[in-house]
Amino acid sequence: MMSAVARLFRRALHARLAPQPSSSLRQLQRIRHALRDCVNDCTGSQAARLQGRIEKARNAQELWLLRNDAYQVISQHHDQRVAAERINQMLPLFNGLVAPRQLSKID
């Protein structure tokens, strides 16, 4: 019984600590370009800061986390429907680069 529990614990710990697949430079450039395009028609200091953060992002996970900021910027310049559409169009770019449970659409 204890060995079965220990095995389950080790598997869960290993799965949690396992690194996410690294993304290629080409994949990062594609995601970066798509994220920039999403907010390209938005102006102001918040949009400019976001553009800078998009450029400085080091991996797909960091770019994934910036989509919330992009949603806010787009919502302020357009509306929530437009923001959700733009952000959701990028989901396929993140397949295999972020945890599957994170790949959810914005409603």
What pTM was estimated for this model as a whole?
0.75
Q: Is 23 helix (H, G, I), strand (E, B) or coil?
A: coil
What does the block give as tokens for 70? 């992009």
Q: Which of 67, 88, 69, 86 is nearest to 78 (CA)?
A: 86
CA distance 31 to 34: 5
Q: Which of 57, 52, 48, 51 is nearest to 29 (CA)?
A: 57
Q: Which of 37, 96, 94, 92 is nearest to 64 (CA)?
A: 94
Taking only the tens of pLDDT, the chain with its 107 residues reads 556 555 655 666 555 444 455 568 899 999 999 999 999 999 999 999 999 999 999 999 999 999 999 999 999 999 999 999 999 999 999 999 999 998 899 88
